[in-house]
Structure 1
């Protein structure tokens, strides 16, 4: 039975914020959503005008996939981050 890529949802808790990935997304889109706090948009005040609050660095950033839970590395360009992006991409694009 084929899996509809639009039905796949991957969830996570990153920098204190819940994130949801649902396909199809490009690898760059995955990187931007998982490491959202490092994108230029994240540095802008939120819609209600408040600035981004500091994050408790002792909290772990994790993402849950059908294959398990994974810790998110702080550096989005580290080897571990690239491997995580490749795995997330494969989860979101099962037919490829």
Structure 2
């Protein structure tokens, strides 16, 4: 899927890796990209390597949006993670 020139983009630093979210994305797609290391069933060798990589968790995982910086909760199932997902979804899908 190609992103339009004026589509929303959100960047982040998650588990020591840079991520980019290009809209539009569903809430499930957002969760999978932001909390990629919690993927239950890796389907590729690269995903398996990603799950095993070493990470110094003393650094914060953050997302940068038009509204500012937001810390990414470690657990994708917390109320804070659901709120972050809803906010990211609204920003990436402004026409909904």
Same fold (TM over 0.5): yes
Gaps of 5+ in 1: none
> SS of the residue aligned with 1:24?
coil
TM-score normalised by L of structure 1: 0.83
| CA deviation after TM superposition for structure 1 residue 45, in Å | 4.0
Q: Distance in 2 between matches of 1:28 and 1:6?
A: 23
Runs of 4+ in 1 over 4 A off after TM superposition: none
For 2:77, the equivalent position in structure 1 comes to 77
- Count residues with an aligned counterpart: 91
Q: Distance in 2 between matches of 1:50 and 1:31?
A: 19
Contact 1:72 1:81 in 2 (8 A): yes
RMSD after superposition:
2.4
Highest CA radius of gyration, 1 or 2? 1
> SS of the residue aligned with 1:85?
helix
TM-score normalised by L of structure 2: 0.83
For 1:28, the equivalent position in structure 2 comes to 28
